[in-house]
Structure 1
Amino acid sequence: MTDVARLRELCLNLPTADEAAATAVRSRQAVLTKPQGSLGRLEDIAAWLARWQRRAMPRLDQVEILVFAGNHGVVGQGVSPYPAAVTAQMVGNYAAGGAAINQIARVAGASLRVVPLMLDTPTGDFTQTAAMTPESFATAMTAGFDAVRAGTDLLCLGEMGIGNTTVAAALAAGLFGGAGADWAGRGTGIDDAGLARKIAAIDQGLARHRAALDDPLAAAACLGGRELAAILGAVIAARVHHVPVLLDGFVCSAAAAPLARLLPGGLDHTMIAHASAEAGHRRLLAALGMTPLLDLGMRLGEASGAALAVPIVRAALACHQGMASFAEAGVSDRA
């Protein structure tokens, strides 16, 4: 898995859905004590779980949150109000249980693992050079791939990395077109001058790496980051291991987006957990053709939105498993 060509081949030959399992869910939904379709997207979620877990009766016994952390050379361009040292400091905060994701994971009934990726060695500044060589990109993808445990019932993905909204905006622009101004937001709260630097850095990166942009994996290596590459690797591993995935906000969605460009339906085993308040996310959601489960004005990252959506997924499964049929309840069905 340390070779980009082998990773590309894997991306193009991923397992398909189990439509028989999804059909079984739809058949059961049709006889439960409710008007057909009245639970809306909860019914779709139950079928989605079945389709990708490859089980007619899904389960959520093992729900895991993976947060990948990385640092970025482009921070040297003044694109964030926070220093790169905050990335490692926040990893320590996660370990101590003091971050938002620790609290939300507990509420969601999910385990949490944080995977730091060479925090002492930022990626290259993409305004000057490629963020990663093909080899280092493949290594980061493989770290994400290997972090996914077979037997997981639902995987939530997220990230931490000072400067990574700049990276996500550059990658989204590289994959789907547009300029820095179309995709850049204020991230962790940068001022007007900082936003201008951010837009300029993205435009410089797009111009420098224009020749790579027709290849989604090359674009991700040139413009991305290690935590984004790891998320992409984890998304691929989840498909291989039949694990449905909840993606967090803007950065996480951008990290997974190369797979959508490589393979039609490549992200069908994923759902976007929430619409980030970061400026480029709605544009990215439109490009991906995906509708988020939640829209709460969040822009924290660290898988907080993905974890927050887990209780909704649990509710969808509880209704599917626990509701009585019309016959079982002695309730008259429609004529």
Structure 2
Amino acid sequence: MDLFACAGCGTELTAPVARVALPVHTHFGGWEELHPPLMDPGTYAVEPRPTGPPWRLWEEVGEDEAACQGVYARVHRVSFGARNRIVVAPGDSRAMTLILDKCEGYCRGVDGRDGPNLACEGCGRAVATRMDDCGMWQAVWLEPDAVVRRPSGLPAVPPPDWDDLARPDHRAPLFELDGSWSRRWEAALGVALAHLVAVTGDRPVILPAGPVAELFGPAVDRCLPAGPDTRSVGLAGPGVPAPRPRPDVLLVPRHPLTGDPWRPSGDEAPVVPLDSGVWAHFVHPGETSPTPATGVLPPGVLRDDYTFVPCPWYPLTPHRYAFTLTLAGLPAIRDPRLSRRREAYG
């Protein structure tokens, strides 16, 4: 377990936290909605890409400088913020106070548009940014040059590994409590679609029959062209060997600690990484119905532990910016085969 302290005065700024992979949906929420915390209590993650202000317009930056920032297709603006910012749940932050003249937001909270808005209570140094406006997952982002990581003194906990994907609580629920599709699933689908476009060269695909085709099929049909020269897609991961013969593309989970995609041993063929909680839903669905498939519950058995959430009437739709911004961040977007996609960025 680690904790983060102010690099200036040593004040402890977080509770003890353990590192996990950066969630796939980190930067993609539902507009005009208040969201829960991004991170689970007692965890932190690191964003290796530049994020946050200062921002510069594409016209000022140009293609080559944008590529140095990890952006390979035209976007409205490019972040020149710090790399390796650390994100924790707001409840795990300590000894920080808001900088009131830097608390701008859209309508329901603060969005970090003016840079760090939290100061260390010990020395007043700006050390972090609280973000909780509509469309944003609640989070505290620590600035990498303003904090230091220290051992917490608590016993080390086993780092998350592939085995965690089989735990029931690792599966990402499909629906929100209001009956709409999960925002996490919408973001995960957008990210996966971007990778699928990149690795297939924007060619038609055939998804594996079953839940993958049922949930992802409508979005894939709208996003990718129909016709010949199709690419086959299969599901694989820890405990789920790749089908034989191997499909052209494998849908695989991201590691819960590193975020790296799973690969079969010695296999360098294309893979599309999925949010590990979404992948776990496909592979370890668990109990799916509160009633038996046939017959009735035994006499005297009462079940009150299920929340009956209405299902959406419309297909699962990818988060628009999760798709476009992920694709813009993949070097493959420069491939001539993806000229149709590149022109869409205009």
* TM-score by shorter chain over 0.5: no
**Structure with the bigger percentage of strand:** 2
**Structure with the bigger percentage of helix:** 1
**TM-score (norm. length: structure 1):** 0.25
Larger radius of gyration: 2
**TM-score (norm. length: structure 2):** 0.24
